[in-house]
């Protein structure tokens, strides 16, 4: 079963961390497959880590992904529980993670997820705002990518780089990597999306745009600094219903359809190898 999802976009402020947190919390509540979820925070800034551990004091957590990647701790020992939900665990980030990106190795995270994947139904990887080695490590081990993006000219101009990188990783290191979809975030609720930009997104990522649109919603912004997912923070707000409907509906439907396709392909390959 392919349930490792990397949340990727080199543009900062595109809604990666917000989507990673609310996707993970949504899957623990609404997944048909499994309610256990691990978040791996690959961003040295550690915004997901701070929110999930309920601490904004900048103190480095006692166990981190950095310790695991440098071999000072086993993957299981690096995992910590979170204040969000008993079904969400975390491999925390820390600033030193940045040094891993200078080692130019792309398969270090894969060794970690290989050791942990049977313990969790879902693994969600939050990534930094660049396409460097930390993000590449996430793409090399992921089954799926989700690309959150705002629908503005500047945001759309970074998407071709994401598409090209996914293609390269598929060619070189991870043939099974699939794009689960592009999620528009922070849409202005009062205006329609610019059709020219939508056209550009669809050209870069054909048939990949989620129909769900996440609009600007103050509760979505407030929830992480209150150490809650949007569903716990205000389950009745618009932001909660947008993320909830997406996870319950479109996201899981797409995941199931792509899994089915992948399994058929794998069976075919096995048959041709016999």
Ligand X SMILES: Nc1ncnc2c1ncn2[C@@H]1O[C@H](COP(=O)(O)OP(=O)(O)O)[C@@H](O)[C@H]1O
* Residues within the interface to ligand X (CB under 6 A): 12-18, 47, 129, 185-186, 214, 216-217, 220-221
Q: Assess contact for 258 and 178: CB atoms under 8 A.
A: yes
Nearest-approach distance from CB 95 to ligand X, in angstroms? 16
Phi, psi for 71 (deg, rounded to 5): 85, 10
Q: Does 14 bind Mg ion (CB under 5 A)?
A: no
The smaller minimum CB distance to Mg ion, of residues 47 and 91, is found at 47
Q: Is 8 helix (H, G, I), strand (E, B) or coil?
A: coil
DSSP letter string, 25-47: HHHHHH-SS-S-EEEEE--TT-H
Instruction: State how far the Cα of 156 lies from the Cα of 51, in Å rounded to an integer.
Output: 28
- Region from 13-21, 94-102, 115-123, 225-233 binding Mg ion, contact rule CB under 5 A: 13-21
Q: Does 49 bind Mg ion (CB under 5 A)?
A: no
* Residue 13 contact, options Mg ion, ligand X, none, Cβ 5-8 Å cut-off depending on partner type: ligand X
Q: Does 17 bind Mg ion (CB under 5 A)?
A: yes
Q: Assess contact for 220 and 230: CB atoms under 8 A.
A: yes
Helix, strand, coil percent values for the chain (each to nearest 5): 50, 15, 35
| Element containing residue 220 per DSSP (H, E) | helix 218-225
Nearest-approach distance from CB 274 to ligand X, in angstroms? 45
Q: Both tokens of residue 161?
A: 């780089």
Nearest-approach distance from CB 15 to ligand X, in angstroms? 4
Nearest-approach distance from CB 183 to ligand X, in angstroms? 10
Span 200-229, contacts to Mg ion by CB under 5 A: none
Instruction: State how far the Cα of 218 lies from the Cα of 72, in Å rounded to an integer.
Output: 40
- Region from 11-19, 97-105, 116-124, 220-228 binding Mg ion, contact rule CB under 5 A: 11-19
Nearest residue (beta carbon) to Mg ion: 17
Instruction: State how far the Cα of 144 lies from the Cα of 163, in Å rounded to an integer.
Output: 13
The smaller minimum CB distance to ligand X, of residues 28 and 185, is found at 185
* Residue 185 contact, options ligand X, Mg ion, none, Cβ 5-8 Å cut-off depending on partner type: ligand X
Q: Is 216 helix (H, G, I), strand (E, B) or coil?
A: coil
Number of residues that bind Mg ion (CB under 5 A): 3
The smaller minimum CB distance to ligand X, of residues 61 and 129, is found at 129
Q: Does 16 bind Mg ion (CB under 5 A)?
A: yes
Binding residues (CB under 5 A) for Mg ion: these are 16-17, 47
């Amino acid at each position: 079963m392919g349930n490792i999802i990397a949340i990727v976009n080199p543009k900062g402020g595109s809604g990666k961390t917000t989507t990673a947190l609310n996707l993970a919390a949504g899957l623990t509540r609404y997944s048909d497959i499994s309610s256990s979820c691990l978040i791996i925070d690959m961003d040295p800034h550690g915004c997901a880590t701070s929110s999930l551990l309920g601490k904004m004091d900048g103190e480095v957590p006692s166990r981190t992904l950095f310790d695991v990647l440098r071999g000072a701790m086993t993957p299981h020992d690096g995992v910590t529980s979170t204040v969000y939900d008993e079904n969400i665990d975390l491999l925390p980030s820390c600033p030193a993670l940045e040094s891993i990106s200078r080692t130019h190795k792309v398969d270090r995270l894969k060794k970690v997820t290989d050791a942990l994947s049977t313990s969790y139904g879902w693994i969600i990887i939050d990534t930094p705002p660049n396409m460097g080695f930390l993000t590449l490590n996430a793409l090399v081990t992921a089954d799926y990518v989700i690309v959150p993006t705002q629908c503005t000219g500047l945001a759309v101009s970074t998407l071709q780089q994401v598409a090209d990188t996914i293609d390269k990783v598929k060619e070189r290191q991870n043939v099974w990597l699939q794009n689960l979809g592009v999620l528009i975030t922070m849409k202005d609720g009062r205006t329609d999306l610019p059709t020219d930009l939508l056209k550009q997104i669809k050209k870069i990522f054909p048939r990949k745009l989620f129909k769900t649109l996440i609009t600007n919603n103050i509760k979505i912004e407030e929830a992480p600094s209150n150490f809650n997912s949007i569903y716990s923070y205000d389950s009745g707000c618009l932001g909660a219903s947008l993320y909830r409907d997406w996870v319950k509906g479109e996201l899981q439907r797409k995941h199931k359809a792509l899994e089915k396709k992948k399994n058929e392909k794998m069976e075919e390959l096995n048959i041709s190898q016999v």
